[in-house]
Amino acid sequence: MFPVQDNAPRQSVPLATYFLIALNVAVFLVEISLPPPVLEKVIYYFGVVPARYTNPHLESQVLFPGLKYLAFLTCMFLHGGWVHLIGNMWTLWIFGDNVEDRMGSLRFLIFYFLCGFAASLTHIYMHPHSTVPTIGASGAISGVLGAYYALFPLARLIVMIPIFIFPFFFEIPAVLYLAWWFFIQVFSGTLSVVHGEIAGGVAWWAHTGGFVAGLLLHRLFCLGRRKIFYRDEETPWGVLPLVFEKTNR
């Protein structure tokens, strides 16, 4: 299932979401301009390599001592290809604006990076001996999904499901889509631990850790912010009766 659009309301311009998308795209354009040998080194040094934090021998191979910690930040802006980048940025576009609307732009940025850090730490814990660099914004975006799950459970999504070569579009509750997504991450992550390797080249446990971090942290970042309520009624998609209230949380 691929999310196409949601119907959750927002009242402000999501400047932080726009900024993150623009920065990720800019960094990727720099990536693809680099010669392959240079790009490989950039990904290795600026991605999160779990063994670098658990193996003293690998730790000594970093360019300078602080780089292995800086990698927790830089890894969020590196991507392995156009599909990787577009998938992450599209997901951030769909879900990020609503979460930012509830938190405010500055709080949202801090929340985003904290979820990314939590995702990397979870991946290191679950795969401590891996020498494969982990890159991508998906861990931080998973935190955004966790916050969306808690903040907009009644929202509805239009999702696309490809059957053979034909795309089919369905409307489903956001809570159902995100619960299924989280189950897939945990299930695939468990398989990766059982088999001793990262299944499909995807850092499943990073996604899981980011999502849980988003669930746990979102209330802190929504304190004192306006809360939006709306009724989930039997109306055509896109026609959304809204009830706005100002509350302190």
Measured distance CA(62)–CA(52) in Å, rounded:
8
Q: Which fold has domain 2-245?
A: Rhomboid-like fold (1.20.1540)
DSSP string, 106-137: HHHHHHHHHHHHHHHHHHHHHSTT--S-B--S
Q: What pTM value is reported for the model?
A: 0.86
Measured distance CA(73)–CA(28) in Å, rounded:
15
> So what's the pLDDT on residue 8?
84
> So what's the pLDDT on residue 227?
64
Query: Which residues are bridge partners to 132 per DSSP?
Result: none
Residue 183 is inside which H or E element, if any? helix 174-195
> So what's the pLDDT on residue 188?
86
> So what's the pLDDT on residue 66?
65
> So what's the pLDDT on residue 180?
93
Q: For 71-94, what is the mean pLDDT? A: 94
Cβ proximity of 139 and 206 under 8 Å: yes
pLDDT (tens digit, 9 = 90+) per residue, 32-45?
999 999 999 899 88
Cβ proximity of 194 and 128 under 8 Å: no
